[in-house]
Structure 1
Amino acid sequence: MMPHRRHVLPVFAVLLAVTIVLPILAVIPVSFTPTSSFAISSPESWSPRWYRELLTNPVWLDSLVSSLRIALLAALVATVAGTMAALGLRRVRRTHRVVARALVTLPLLIPLVVLAVGLYAMLIRTQLVGTTAGFVLAHALLGLPLAFITVSASLDALDDNLEQASRGLGAGPVTTMRLIVLPLVAPGVIAGALFAFVVSFNEVVIAGFLGSPYLRTLPIEMYSSMTRSTDPTVAAAATFVAALTVITAAFALAAMSWRRRHLTRKD
């Protein structure tokens, strides 16, 4: 009985993964259809027509560029803020650290609709609704907890004796941070930045509240296209988003895995 039970969890994990991946894979053949409707054609008749439309149509291209610009800026802001928060919490008492971590990661627990309404009410007072700055601030708020978690995990694995040895040799706090701490937690910082980028690039709920006719992200344009017509360009956009997400997540996981292997070798 035991050998059979041992295979239950892996089989369940594979079935769950296949269930999640199948809808994503179904988009790919649709994106290569030569017709103007959602249809799965044979590979012999596949055409890059809708990818050309995605990269040449001003509406689609502007939304794609806007998403990339906002995601990059939001990831930068979230990573800097998350790294500073993780470093700062190392100086906080352990009794207060749990509460502080809960507050930093709170955006992950609040429903996106509630968060979107609150951000809209706040940003409309500062006239940032429909602006790049407003999008960056809102998306950075979503990415900050992810950057904070990955950097905190790297800091938890950091040997405090290294900092003490650096200071014992005469290095100041800034020099120790620059030459000892930051290089060792760099994989966590990189992973946090990549996760924050993915979250911002794929975000649609908050973007729906903060968008304007002059600034629309790619997910919002995809949603609007689906409500207007069955334009296969949305399938090409979905394939692009899925590919970018998978590649970015793979790099983030590779950075975290490299850090774990590096620490294991040292131990």
Structure 2
Amino acid sequence: MDVNAPVKPNLAVRIVAWGAIAFLMAPIPIIILVSFSSAQYLTFPPPGFSLQWYERFLGSNEWVQSIWVSLQVAVFSAVLTMVLATMAAIPMVRGEFSKKSIVYAVLLAPMIIPVIITAIALYFVFTKVGLNGTVLAITIGHTIVVLPIAFVVLSSTLQGLDPRLEKAAISLGASPFVAFYKITLPLLMPGILSAGLFSFLTSFDELIIPLFLGGPTTQTLAVRIWNSVVMEIEPTISAVSVFLIGMTIVVMVLAGFMKRAFRWTGSGGPQQENSHA
């Protein structure tokens, strides 16, 4: 008997797993069908087919403005998170210094502190410096919330890299900066991109931070959805939900292509990859 052979799940485990997946995925087709409803209110099944809610969503200056604000905040937050998480992960994984546990606690604190507490604290701070109601304020708030998770992702990726590769480059005459840029950074790039994509999606869906730090002209899409649900529930929300689902799928597909591209580059091309196989 081969002890290394993979263990196949039995029929009961498969049924439970697929049942759980079906339960989690069931709301998605319902939302998609409702978004094409011809009714003037939320109802399922829809009485007819219509694109009126997509026209109202994409034809509204308020909704389009919220999409633009969310995109700005998400992109800026993702870039800032990637830079800060990389700068924090390298010394925390490779460096040796006292009080490292305290620094770890500070970096991971936003994961423990409730987001609403962070939002209230940032609100009072940004009010004093006049940043409330700006894209910059929301970006900083989102970066603080997402940074700990990105730091964990990059730390685990960096721990899987062999530091002897960088030391070998330095021993051959490369400066520490060149060794990092030529050796460590390319190997770390899949983790950086994964952290960036996760930061983008999290920032795009975040509600509490922009609810406190946003303003009348800087309402993100999540805040606009919240206000629409509180004030008036109409099928436009379902069209917005389908838009968010589609954007999430696009980002995940893009992440898959990036991972394949880095795997292909790291293996020296398809021929060498096949030879390894």
TM above 0.5: yes
Q: Which ranges in structure 2 are unaligned for 5 or more consecutive residues?
A: 1-6, 269-275
Q: Which residue pairs with 2:225 in the alignment? A: 222
Q: Find the aligned partners of 2:30 and 2:96 in 1 and give their Cα distance.
A: 51
Report the CA distance shift for 1:16/1:118 in structure 2 as closer, same or farther (over 3 A): farther
Q: Among residues 233, 236, 241, which one is paired with 1:233 in the alignment? A: 236
Pair 1:122 & 2:125 matched: yes
Give 1 or 2: higher helix fraction.
Answer: 1
Q: How does 1:133-148 map to 2 (within 5 A)?
A: 133-148=136-151
Q: Among residues 81, 84, 87, which one is paired with 2:87 in the alignment? A: 84
Task: Determine helix, strand or coil for the equivalent of 1:46.
Answer: coil
Q: Find the aligned partners of 1:30 and 1:186 in 2 and give their Cα distance.
A: 40
Which deviates the most, 51-60 or 161-170?
A: 51-60
Pair 1:40 & 2:25 matched: no
Identity %: 29
Q: How does 1:28-107 map to 2 (within 5 A)?
A: 28-41=32-45, 45-93=48-96, 96-107=99-110
Q: Find the aligned partners of 1:246 and 1:83 in 2 and give their Cα distance.
A: 26
Report the CA distance shift for 1:260/1:150 in structure 2 as closer, same or farther (over 3 A): farther
Q: Is the 8 A contact 1:195 1:248 kept in 2?
A: no
Q: Find the aligned partners of 1:99 and 1:20 in 2 and give their Cα distance.
A: 39
- After TM superposition, the score normalised by the length of structure 2 is 0.84
Report the CA distance shift for 1:13/1:250 in structure 2 as closer, same or farther (over 3 A): farther
Q: Which residue pairs with 2:167 in the alignment? A: 164
Larger Rg: 2
How far is the alpha carbon of 1:41 from its aligned partner? 4.8
Q: Find the aligned partners of 2:14 and 2:261 in 1 and give their Cα distance.
A: 24
Report the CA distance shift for 1:21/1:91 in structure 2 as closer, same or farther (over 3 A): same
How far is the alpha carbon of 1:231 from its aligned partner? 2.2
Report the CA distance shift for 1:118/1:250 in structure 2 as closer, same or farther (over 3 A): farther
Task: Determine helix, strand or coil for the equivalent of 1:105.
Answer: helix
Computed over aligned residues only, the root mean square deviation of the Cα atoms, in angstroms, reads 2.9
- The aligned amino acid for 1:87 is I
Render the CA deviation track for 1:39-76: whole Å, top value 9, x for unaligned. Answer: 23559x42222222222211111111111111111111
Q: Among residues 8, 15, 18, which one is paired with 1:14 in the alignment? A: 18
Pair 1:149 & 2:152 matched: yes
Q: Is the 8 A contact 1:198 1:249 kept in 2?
A: no
How far is the alpha carbon of 1:261 from its aligned partner? 10
Q: Which residue pairs with 1:188 in the alignment? A: 191
- After TM superposition, the score normalised by the length of structure 1 is 0.87
How far is the alpha carbon of 1:257 from its aligned partner? 8.1
Q: Which ranges in structure 1 are unaligned for 5 or more consecutive residues?
A: none
- The aligned amino acid for 2:35 is S
- The aligned amino acid for 1:40 is F
Task: Determine helix, strand or coil for the equivalent of 2:26.
Answer: helix
Q: Find the aligned partners of 2:107 and 2:263 in 1 and give their Cα distance.
A: 24
Q: Find the aligned partners of 1:91 and 1:60 in 2 and give their Cα distance.
A: 46
Q: Which residue pairs with 2:271 in the alignment? A: none
Q: Is the 8 A contact 2:85 2:154 kept in 1?
A: yes
Q: Find the aligned partners of 2:198 and 2:110 in 1 and give their Cα distance.
A: 15
- The aligned amino acid for 2:27 is P
Report the CA distance shift for 1:156/1:7 in structure 2 as closer, same or farther (over 3 A): farther
